[in-house]
Amino acid sequence: MRNLKWDINSLNQSKIFYAFNDESNQEIRDFAQKIGKHQFVDQTVINPENFKSIIKELKTIEKEVDQGQKIVILKAIPGLMYYEIETFQWIVSKLLGETILQNEEGRHLIHIFDRDPMRRIKDGARYHQTHEMGAIHTDNVNIPETYQYLLVGCVAPAMIGGENIIVNGQAVYEYLKEYAPKELEILMEKFTWEYRGISKELYEAPIISLDSHGEAQFRHLRTYMESAHLRAGKLLNSDQVRALDALDAALNMSCFQLIYRLQEGEILVANDSKVLHDRKCFVDAMDSISIDEKKAGKQGHLRRSLLRTWVRQFPNS
């Protein structure tokens, strides 16, 4: 079913959560135990021949993320160690498609955690390296090419807070079409973007466009786009600012938001251009440590530690 524009009242929550069967769980456990701890799990080769049961189940997940409500939350596999949750996400990512480079260091899987509780976004810190609430956005803003899937896995939730905010873009598009049509027209024009974290180049693309099925797709992270316009010497005019304000106001309407706190071992699989997201602010335990510090033998509670992968669907999938 296409053009399914759920809001919080029409969302079918029974379709959101998906638990792999026992055979698939065992495929994950066997491989995770075989490779053990990895400094960079994204250097691990995934052979589809080892995951025949998971591949069958992923067809159901892909259908829901592509054509249904655009999101699925994979339930935790019992018994996985913290570093095996990384392996779980890497396996699913590689079986869904081609993973996308995320930074200049060559990483395809990123750790999201608060690097320094004293540093703020306003001081130049990147959102995924802080504990602050950001702004509702899509991840696919750093590159002009489209990829289908955003995966966010939870290794450890925060001591307090850190709820995930999930917004259905189609519902927001339909709302703007009815109540702010002129602003919507502006949002469908080209804006300037930067390859932040990847290169110093700029590119142009609309914030909202329609795909081949007539569904709305989004490219939105306002601060990154505003930064790109400043670098290009193209100041936003009053109509563009108003259009952006209208979009952000709609995105922040509670009726369009699913609020859910990912639990240890769960993985959100979202259609990145169709579903926007954010998180609420959080606080970690005083003695909290990062995944890398724990791998190195340091003692303490894990900080709120999420994993991020971007995946482009296999051709003809």
Contact between 77 and 27 under an 8 Å Cβ cutoff? The reply is no
CATH tag, 13-166+260-313 = 3.60.130.10
d(CA 151, CA 218): 17
d(CA 6, CA 131): 29
CA atoms within 13 A on the CB side of 98: 11
Per-residue pLDDT at 45: 96
- Tens of pLDDT, residue by residue over 94-147, are 999 999 988 888 899 999 998 777 676 666 656 677 777 789 999 999 888 889
- The per-residue pLDDT string of the chain (317 residues; one tens digit each, 9 = 90 and over) reads 454 678 888 999 889 999 999 999 999 999 999 999 988 999 999 999 999 999 999 999 999 999 999 999 999 999 999 999 999 999 999 999 999 988 888 899 999 998 777 676 666 656 677 777 789 999 999 888 889 999 999 999 999 999 999 999 999 999 999 999 999 999 999 999 998 877 889 999 999 999 999 999 999 999 999 999 999 999 999 999 999 999 999 999 999 999 999 999 999 999 999 999 999 999 999 989 999 999 999 999 999 999 999 999 988 76
Contact between 44 and 38 under an 8 Å Cβ cutoff? The reply is yes
> What is the pTM assigned to this prediction?
0.93
Q: CA 3, 270, 222, 188 torsion: positive or negative? A: negative
Domain-wise residue ranges, the chain:
13-166+260-313
- Tens of pLDDT, residue by residue over 224-261, are 999 999 999 999 999 999 999 999 999 999 999 999 99
Enumerate the β-bridge partners of residue 190: 206
Per-residue pLDDT at 1: 44
DSSP 143-202: SSS---EEEEEEEE--SEE--EEEEEHHHHHHHHHHH-HHHHHHHTSEEEEE-TTT-S-E
Tokens matching residue 311: 């995946």
